[in-house]
Structure 1
Amino acid sequence: MNFHEIRFPPTLSFGSVGGPERRTEIVTLANGFEERNTPWEHARRRYDAGVGMRSLDDIDALVAFFEARRGQLFGFRWKDWSDYKSCRPNADISFDDQIIGIGDGETNTFQLTKDYSSGDVTYTRPITKPVFSTVRIGVANDEQRESIHFTVDLETGVVTLPDAPEEGAEVTAGFEFDVPVRFDTDTIQTSVASFRAGDVPRVPIVEVRV
């Protein structure tokens, strides 16, 4: 896959706007009732990086990053400042933030995930781009040590344990993560005069499936 394991400069993504996008197909029946369905299991996030540009040096860094990615050709990592941790924004990461699996005595690989709950409904989001040295893992409420008790693939978010947890043992995780994205345009248009007047470029970013 055309993906560079490099993060868009966090100082430039800070202040950007964006969030999850869903696709819902709605059919209105003759009696006025609706049938609703979605072809997407997971949301797709969109952002505008242009809002985070604050100086001409920022524009220079943006153009350099854009050119190195060849526009839309190569994906990259993006820090979503509103949602980048396994816990609440103001909390500290703990090894028991998220339940990522239940031991069955045979499985020793687990995908990092994050749950979003409201009422009695929960959506589970796969996390495929964890951040280096932030992943903490627990098994049966006992924190594990990275490289000794587990390894994590930073390109896929898959955690591997040396031995399969016993049946019924909770496997938990805490982590920071990035969103896999690409530029949603092959053109960056800037103007020194307009930028100084407070006009920033539009730089659309869209999440990619990996």
Structure 2
Amino acid sequence: MPAPFHEVRFPVDVAVKSRGGPRRRTDVVVTGSGREERNARWAHARRRYDAGYGVKTLTALAAVVAFFEERRGRLYGFRWRDRLDDRSCTPGAAPGPLDMPIGTGAAGLASFALAKTYGAAFAPYRRPIEKPVAGSVRVAVAGVERAAGVDWDVDAATGQVTFRPGKLPAPGAAVTAGFLFDVPVRFDADELIVDLAAFEAGEIPSIPLIEIIP
């Protein structure tokens, strides 16, 4: 059974000023000869953030506390906007239907999962995208854009693009997509401790968040 998740976004004005990024786990073993052996423990990076860096006013702090309480601390996941990495294209650009490959047509195949690919020449990394922003997804088949709501639909809670009957991609046809997306996260603590005197003096409160891996 999937963990409980609220399809609501953390306050964006706080998120865009916060701190964080991807983290990977790699085992590094040094042999007796001095050579290294390296092994990836995780298939996917796991992002960590500290929302405290984005809290600049008591009003923003109160909004975060209210958000924390409604999520019951670590219990409920939610959406987070990562200002550095929130789209299928370069930062600041508008997503286009040819941005990312998401699959290839095959007989009877109707559903395709959104994904973002990083790199190309050496070891491309394909990241599943489960929380696209509603209304932002564009899809093309064999380089030709298809109409949302006519040819296909997308589940904004799972990132699944499903073509309608009679609109399936032809076998061998490249299916591509462009989109904005949020990161599924949860609070990484069941308590928020804020020293108001220190906060008013400029101290940054700690509000840790961690990505929920599909």
Counterpart for residue 207 of structure 2: 203
Secondary structure of the corresponding residue to residue 121 of structure 1: coil
1:181 aligns with 2:185: yes
Deviation at 1:67, TM superposition (A): 0.3
Deviation at 1:129, TM superposition (A): 0.4
Which string of whole-angstrom CA distances, capped at 9 and with x for unpartnered residues, describes residues 105-132 of structure 1?
3311100000110643311101000011
> Which residue identity does 1:192 align to in structure 2?
L
Counterpart for residue 160 of structure 2: 158
- For 2:4 and 2:73, locate their aligned partners in 1 and report how far apart those are by CA, in whole Å: 12
- For 2:71 and 2:108, locate their aligned partners in 1 and report how far apart those are by CA, in whole Å: 41
Q: Cα RMSD (Å) of the superposition?
A: 1.1
Counterpart for residue 86 of structure 2: 84
Identity %, equivalent residues:
48
Which string of whole-angstrom CA distances, capped at 9 and with x for unpartnered residues, describes residues 166-206 of structure 1?
12211110100000000001111112221111012111100
**Structure 1 residue ranges without an equivalent (≥5):** none
Counterpart for residue 11 of structure 2: 9
- For 2:29 and 2:121, locate their aligned partners in 1 and report how far apart those are by CA, in whole Å: 27
1:20 pairs with 8, 22, 28, which one? 22
- For 1:32 and 1:164, locate their aligned partners in 2 and report how far apart those are by CA, in whole Å: 54
Deviation at 1:20, TM superposition (A): 0.5
Deviation at 1:32, TM superposition (A): 1.2
- For 2:115 and 2:8, locate their aligned partners in 1 and report how far apart those are by CA, in whole Å: 21
> Which residue identity does 1:75 align to in structure 2?
G
Which string of whole-angstrom CA distances, capped at 9 and with x for unpartnered residues, describes residues 123-175 of structure 1?
11010000111011111111111111111111110100124311221111010
Which string of whole-angstrom CA distances, capped at 9 and with x for unpartnered residues, describes residues 75-102 of structure 1?
1100000000110002211111111111
Counterpart for residue 63 of structure 1: 65
> Which residue identity does 1:165 align to in structure 2?
P
Counterpart for residue 171 of structure 1: 175
**Structure 2 residue ranges without an equivalent (≥5):** none
Instruction: Tell me the TM-score normalised to structure 2 length.
Output: 0.95
Secondary structure of the corresponding residue to residue 92 of structure 1: coil
- For 2:121 and 2:108, locate their aligned partners in 1 and report how far apart those are by CA, in whole Å: 33
Instruction: After the TM superposition, list the runs of 4 or more consecutive aligned residues in structure 1 that deviate by more than 2 angstroms.
Output: 118-121
1:120 aligns with 2:118: no
- For 1:118 and 1:166, locate their aligned partners in 2 and report how far apart those are by CA, in whole Å: 26
Counterpart for residue 38 of structure 2: 36
- For 1:142 and 1:122, locate their aligned partners in 2 and report how far apart those are by CA, in whole Å: 25
> Which residue identity does 1:197 align to in structure 2?
A
1:108 aligns with 2:119: no
